[in-house]
Amino acid sequence: MCSSPVGSRADWAFRSPHGPGASRSAIAADIRLTRTGATLGTVAYMSPEQAQGKPVDARTDVWSLGVMLYEMLTGQLPFGGETEGLLVHAIIYRPAKPLCKADPAIPAEIERVVLRALEKKPEDRYRTMADFLSDLESLAEGLKPLKAGSRLFRGRVLGVRKPVFYAAAIGLIAVAAFIVFKFLIPSAQAGVLDSVAILPIINESGDAGRDYFAKGLTRELNTELYKVAAVKVAITPEEQKLLAGGRKVNPKAYDLLLKGIAFALPADGALGDDQKGDECFRKALDIDPDLAMAHAWLAFTDFGRGINQYENPKVIYPRAWEALEKVLVLDERLAMAHAVRGYLKAAMNWDFMGADQDFKRALELAPGDMTIPLIYETYLCISGRADEAISSMKSRTEKRKPIGFEGRYAERISFYYVTAGRYDEALKELEKISVVDNAFVHTYSVARALMGSLEEALNAAEKIRSQPGGKENPFYRRDRAWMLTLAGRRAEAIQALDEHVALQAAKNIDTSFDEACVYAGLGDKDKAFELLNESYEKYSSQLIFLVADWALHSLHGDPRFEELARKVGFPVIPGPRKGLQ
């Protein structure tokens, strides 16, 4: 199972171990955060006045957005320099390179709009972001920009490549709207857009190792834009304080953070690699010990390794809790920290009420975040509310398509369906996934097993064992033993369970819960409840899966099951499952 908390046993929390790595060099300069956790750019995106330490206003944001639009259209930065000093010198003194030299297909009207935003003197740029937005909207509508140029293009009619148009023109309009809503004075916010969207930022560098950065930036922009679009109010005095007090973050640290997130929670829904993610987060913290988001994600991967039994939960959970305490001192408003703390409250203390409070706080703090709802919905499944999780995801995706993250969403909802006992619907969702990965194959094998197609289920389980990381995954090992019981292959099931128990004992990890799952599959309910009660006496964190674990679906409806679920404190106790008694 994954080591993160939203896949495997967290398919129960989130997926991770064993994936390829990537590398990217960052510009060596500070990243100025206008609010904690929301990055807007590196030195390459700084305006001349900002680079010189002069006072800045909204026209600095016009400049930064101009740089981003230039880069999206041409695949290059408007100013070059092999060192930070040379880059800063170019920003202050040298004119931007004409866009047409990088790509002759770019219309002159677009070039005029971009270069107007990149004028050295603030007074020569667009006066406000609203003016810039107006010309960008004109570009998208095929009208003449009032502030910067002549006839505009629309789609591919004028020869602009489709990816460039959608990723730059429409995407940048959304970015501009975000900045207008978030950073301009109330008078500049009179024209509020009803809806805007960020299309996936495309990595056109030719370096696949930079994909994680494009994905991370798409996630960040979607999150921040949604906050603004959902609220639709002017900046409050409290927000103004947050903007003024934004701390600086080392770009190398932030780059490592994004890379770690890409390892821990791949956008395509594939099994992640918590170990590599963990390494990135720790390296980021070596550079910037106060990078709160890195602490939060490190706690997340620690929780994942504990919940998925790669490490002893009784050792790793307290470490994750300690990291979260530090995070919340650095930034009490960090949604990810509250979400992970919610998981830990449920797993460590069976405190479902406290967990609910933390998750609700996380959702309040980051209403547009693409990760927090997935974490919360997985928690809903674990706590016996799978149907609620399904309704939540359907509602969210109807309002806002998970562009660029379809694989992750399809993987999640298939898991929700399995925990809800809606196995055929899980299989339909899995058919939509193009990535062939252990995480998807595992969910498929479980759904097939629960529907009685045991040969197909075991073939899929064997396929997982032949893949990298398959035999090392504790959750996959346990489920294979359980599937063997359903197939009537008792001796093989017991042998597989014994091997699993021995491997876990070497890590000092209790397996009474896993053993109960296998004996439930064998139909020995008395032995299964004996082991579950042993798990309860040991205060095992694995009991967080009592009502959701598919291997225990056959026990639902038994009075002993209901009694144990009440003792643990589950808010919802499921009834009998059809055909599994």
Residue 266 lies in a domain: yes
Residue 578 lies in a domain: no
Assess whether 243 and 320 both reside in one domain.
Answer: no
Residue 412 CB coordination number (10 Å): 29
Assess whether 268 and 239 both reside in one domain.
Answer: no
Instruction: List the domain range (segments joined by +) for residue 492.
Output: 8-20+257-568
Assess whether 517 and 551 both reside in one domain.
Answer: yes
Q: What is the CATH number of the domain that holds 495?
A: 1.25.40.10
Buried b (16+ CB within 10 A) or exposed e, 442-473: bbbbbbbbbeebbeebbebbebbeebebbeeb
Residue 576 lies in a domain: no
DSSP β-bridge partners for residue 31: 249
Assess whether 227 and 329 both reside in one domain.
Answer: no
Quick one: pLDDT at residue 485?
A: 95
Assess whether 468 and 557 both reside in one domain.
Answer: yes
Are the CB atoms for 579 and 553 separated by under 8 Å?
Answer: no
- Which single residue is written with the structure tokens 């490490």? 311
- Which single residue is written with the structure tokens 């791949």? 266
Assess whether 158 and 296 both reside in one domain.
Answer: no
Residue where a domain stops, chosen among 197, 231, 249: 249
DSSP string, 336-381: HHHHHHHHHHHHHH--HHHHHHHHHHHHHH-TT-SSHHHHHHHHHH
The first and second tokens of residue 281, run together, are 């987060």
Residue 468 lies in a domain: yes
Burial class of 328 by CB neighbour count within 10 A (0 to 12, 13 to 18, 19+)? middle
Residue 16 lies in a domain: yes
Quick one: pLDDT at residue 173?
A: 52
Assess whether 370 and 488 both reside in one domain.
Answer: yes
The first and second tokens of residue 73, run together, are 């259209």
Residue where a domain stops, chosen among 249, 279, 303: 249
Assess whether 16 and 49 both reside in one domain.
Answer: no
Assess whether 302 and 271 both reside in one domain.
Answer: yes
Distance in angstroms (rounded) separating the CA atoms of residues 210 and 177: 26
Residue 131 lies in a domain: yes
| Residue pLDDT tens, the chain, 581 long | 344 454 444 433 333 333 333 332 332 333 233 333 332 336 788 889 888 878 888 888 889 888 988 888 888 888 877 666 777 878 888 888 888 887 888 887 888 888 999 999 898 898 888 788 778 777 766 655 555 533 333 333 334 444 444 444 445 555 554 444 444 434 433 334 444 444 444 444 455 554 554 555 555 544 444 444 443 333 344 434 444 444 566 778 878 888 888 888 775 555 567 788 889 999 999 999 988 889 999 999 899 889 888 899 999 999 999 889 888 888 898 999 999 999 999 999 999 999 999 999 999 988 877 788 989 999 999 999 999 999 999 998 888 776 666 777 788 888 899 999 898 999 888 877 654 556 678 888 999 999 999 999 999 888 888 877 778 889 889 999 999 999 999 999 999 999 999 999 999 999 999 999 999 999 999 999 999 999 999 999 899 999 999 999 999 999 999 999 999 999 988 888 764 44
Assess whether 203 and 347 both reside in one domain.
Answer: no
Assess whether 294 and 178 both reside in one domain.
Answer: no
What total of structural domains would you count in the chain?
Answer: 2
Burial class of 103 by CB neighbour count within 10 A (0 to 12, 13 to 18, 19+)? middle
The first and second tokens of residue 286, run together, are 């070596």
- DSSP classification of residue 576: P
Q: What is the CATH number of the domain that holds 70?
A: 1.10.510.10
pTM: 0.61
The SS3 call for residue 572 is coil
The first and second tokens of residue 373, run together, are 């709802």
Distance in angstroms (rounded) separating the CA atoms of residues 119 and 360: 45
Q: Which residue type sits at 96?
A: A
Residue 341 lies in a domain: yes
Residue where a domain stops, chosen among 249, 284, 313: 249
Residue 574 lies in a domain: no
Assess whether 435 and 560 both reside in one domain.
Answer: yes
Question: DSSP alpha helices (H): ranges in 451-473?
Answer: 454-465
Residue 11 CB coordination number (10 Å): 31
